[in-house]
Chains A and B, each alone.
Chain A
Amino acid sequence: MRKLITTALALFALLCLSTVAFAAPPIKIGGLFAVTGPASFLGEPERNTAQMVVDEINKAGGVKGRKIELITYDTSGDATKAVQLVNKLIKNDKVVAIIGPSTTGDSMAIVPVVERAGIPLISCAAGSKITEPVKKWVFKTAQNDGLAAARIYEQLRKERKTKVAILSVSDGFGSSGREQLKAQAKAYGIQIISDDTYGPKDTDMTAQLAKIRGSQAQAVICWGTNPGPAVVARNAKQLGLKIPLYMSHGVSSKKFIELAGDAAEGIRLPSGKVLVADLLPKSDRQKGSLLAFIKDYQNHYRAEGDHFGGHAWDAVMLLKGAIERGGDTPAGIRNALEATRNFAGIGGVFNFSPRDHAGLTKDAFTLVEVRKKDWVLVK
């Protein structure tokens, strides 16, 4: 009798196991985004987009017949929290790959964890140091800020302007941009004659700008995210600063024009192509992805898709491609990711290689100018 029961149980257990195998469990992907906190302007569209893209992939039958399950957590832009949550994703949720986090600080904090665990990470943050030097398991989709700096310098060189003043915000984004600007200046024959900072919550930058006005600078480059640069734009107008004002890609959204108002006129900035998708020539390889993303986002969230969402779009689509080609194990995904070539996404055309886990060139940015409260391409 006992033998019978044991056999029945064993059979039952076997049955359970096999049903699981037949139903093909979903592929679990982790998402870490700063949905609340100071970086929420990054995290919220990223999470929204990631969820939207995953839902669409699932609706279309999943990846090789298997659904994707996206498990997202909110880091609030807090590195300590990010580390706790990444451990949770790896140990409890057993994800095979992770997208995010939204900020450079969060990303750097979790890099050692994913490296140790051997889980591929596609960061949505911009700091170059995330993938320089190359880390085996870490990739990123946001354009390196170095590329944006290069794009500005290229334009300055074209206009034969050699003396610039830098005004950067004193947080991770600003200091990384500042380093890039300083590091690349020489290559473009540019001399930085003034290098100032402002606090992320500062409300008046006239002191710094007055100092710049008194210098020999031929252009100002302000590196920050809203609302600081809008204050800089307003203060520059108040002081009657005559030299051109360049911003970073950190403010490339309509919100900046709204905040800076009339003071935004004439300001130039390097921007991902989402902003100007409809202005791009037909020959642009990203145009298809861009328009599709913008339309989708509009339908889902009644808001304009921005490049922050775009970073998550790229991350999910890159993962999808990698799983299709490399299978659903972390190692397979990583190897397939590294072999990704010519993927025309939102942030640019990605070409990963063992030596480059950021995958973009400075063509990922176009230079735009604010004219009549809208963007135009700078030729």
Chain B
Amino acid sequence: MELLNQVTQFVISGLATGAIYALIGLSFAIIFNSTGIINFAQGEFVMLGGVLTIFCINALQLPLLAAICAAVAGTTVIGLLFERLAIRPLKNATPLALIIITIGASILIRGVVMLLWGKDTQALPAFSGNDPISIAGATLLPQHLWIFGVTILVIVGCRLFFHHTISGKAMRACSFNPRAANLVGVSVGRMVLFSFVISAAVGSLAGVIIAPLTMTAYDVGVMLGLKGFCAAIMGGMGSGLGTVLGGLILGTLESLGAGLISSGYKDAIAFFILLLILFIRPQGLFKKGETERV
């Protein structure tokens, strides 16, 4: 019975962590889906969400909701500037060059945040208290429900946007074949800009809702970004359910691994899975071959 309780706790904790990975994975996939770039500054967008919210609350004395909006807006502007100043000016750059630029940007953002707000870890107050909720012998914090809720909203939003709006379809078209998309009148540049804006917004939102749980500092983006990337790879870099499932599976396996096998192997498990998938199913766990028509 005790073991059953424990396993329930492992799974529920894992799902909660997995939802965080999923959300970050989604923001990776959004950019990849319209540009083919893997944006390694994604973790920094997540970090910015949390750090800016805390800044707005402490220094500007804004109420929580306003602070969150300001932080997400702020990060979105940074995403926009990033695309305008670092990605756009490079005509015909190879994906590799672009990826290296995103790595550079991530180091730059981290450095600037460290200089502006210091190196200390900071915590955001939980949105709706810290009283644990018990579910089937396991406990969960109200903040976890926020994470689940926001993740679901973002998935639904992405789905609607990418499959049922002109802009979303245009963005997907760009990812499949930018040249062809251009020929039929899609402004590829604008779609790339869109994707950076949306993914910065999603990433920072993720950062905001996880900050009360995991706390935040200038360097939290690295690990979160990596795990989110893992989730996106598992989902085959799709912007939908695949990535979310990838994140949830990753979180659950990590948690089960830490609880049942040894906590020392937690990160090793994540990266082992990542490598395994890259070897066996580079197209992701849930993706069929590249036959989709747009």
Query: A197-B263, A203-B213 are known contacts. Are A226 and B121 too (CB-CB below 8 A)?
Result: yes
Count B interface residues, CB 8 Å: 43
B215 at the interface (CB under 8 A from A): yes
| Distance between B210 CB and nearest chain A CB, rounded to angstroms | 7
Q: Which of B80-122 contact A (CB under 8 A)?
A: 114, 119-122
User: Which listed residue, B119, B125, B140, B264, touches A40 by the CB 8 Å rule?
Assistant: B119
Mark B236-264 against chain A: 1 for CB-CB distance below 8 A, else 0: 00000000000000000001101100111
Dominant secondary structure of chain B at its interface with chain A: helix
Tell me if B132 and A238 are in contact (CB < 8 A): yes
Chain A binder among B5-13, B33-41, B273-281: B5-13
Dominant secondary structure of chain A at its interface with chain B: helix
Chain A binder among B181-189, B217-225, B286-294: B217-225
A41 at the interface (CB under 8 A from B): yes
Query: A199-B267, A207-B10, A210-B6 are known contacts. Are A238 and B215 too (CB-CB below 8 A)?
Result: no
Tell me if B214 and A203 are in contact (CB < 8 A): yes
A78 at the interface (CB under 8 A from B): no
> B5, B138, B215: which has the most chain A beta carbons within 10 Å?
B215
Tell me if B120 and A255 are in contact (CB < 8 A): yes
User: Which listed residue, B114, B139, B217, B220, touches A239 by the CB 8 Å rule?
Assistant: B139
Mark A211-239 against chain B: 1 for CB-CB distance below 8 A, else 0: 10110000000000011001100100111
User: Which listed residue, B2, B215, B223, B224, touches A259 by the CB 8 Å rule?
Assistant: B215
| Distance between B240 CB and nearest chain A CB, rounded to angstroms | 25
| Distance between A198 CB and nearest chain B CB, rounded to angstroms | 6
A196 at the interface (CB under 8 A from B): yes
B141 at the interface (CB under 8 A from A): yes
Query: A208-B263, A210-B10 are known contacts. Are A227 and B130 too (CB-CB below 8 A)?
Result: no
Tell me if B17 and A204 are in contact (CB < 8 A): yes
Contacts of B264 on A, CB cut-off 8 Å? 170, 197
B123 at the interface (CB under 8 A from A): yes
User: Which listed residue, B3, B119, B214, touches A41 by the CB 8 Å rule?
Assistant: B119
Contacts of A263 on B, CB cut-off 8 Å? 130
> B14, B121, B214, B262: which has the most chain A beta carbons within 10 Å?
B121
Contacts of B23 on A, CB cut-off 8 Å? none
Tell me if A41 and B120 are in contact (CB < 8 A): yes
> B120, B123, B139, B258: which has the most chain A beta carbons within 10 Å?
B258
A202 to B263, CA, bound (A): 11
Contacts of A204 on B, CB cut-off 8 Å? 13, 16-17, 213-214, 255
User: Which listed residue, A36, A44, A240, touches B132 by the CB 8 Å rule?
Assistant: A240
| Distance between B147 CB and nearest chain A CB, rounded to angstroms | 11
Tell me if A238 and B266 are in contact (CB < 8 A): no
| Distance between A200 CB and nearest chain B CB, rounded to angstroms | 9
A255 to B258, CA, bound (A): 27
Q: B132: nearest residue on chain A (CB-CB)?
A: A238
A38 at the interface (CB under 8 A from B): yes
User: Which listed residue, A197, A206, A259, touches B13 by the CB 8 Å rule?
Assistant: A206
Contacts of B222 on A, CB cut-off 8 Å? 201
A214 to B259, CA, bound (A): 11
Query: A197-B263, A208-B258, A239-B139 are known contacts. Are A203 and B130 too (CB-CB below 8 A)?
Result: no
Pairs A–B under 8 Å by Cβ, sample size 30: A36-B114, A40-B119, A41-B119, A41-B120, A44-B119, A196-B262, A197-B262, A201-B220, A201-B222, A203-B224, A204-B17, A204-B213, A204-B255, A207-B14, A207-B255, A207-B263, A208-B259, A210-B9, A211-B6, A213-B6, A227-B121, A230-B121, A230-B215, A234-B130, A238-B139, A239-B9, A259-B121, A259-B123, A259-B215, A261-B123
Q: Hey, which bits of chain A sit against chain B, CB under 8 A?
A: 36, 38, 40-41, 44, 170, 196-199, 201-204, 206-208, 210-211, 213-214, 226-227, 230-231, 234, 237-240, 255, 258-259, 261-263
Q: Hey, which bits of chain B sit against chain A, CB under 8 A?
A: 2-3, 5-6, 9-10, 13-14, 16-17, 20, 114, 119-123, 125, 130, 132, 138-141, 210, 213-215, 217, 219-220, 222-224, 255-256, 258-259, 262-264, 266-267
5 A-B pairs closest in CB distance:
A203-B214, A207-B259, A206-B13, A207-B258, A227-B121
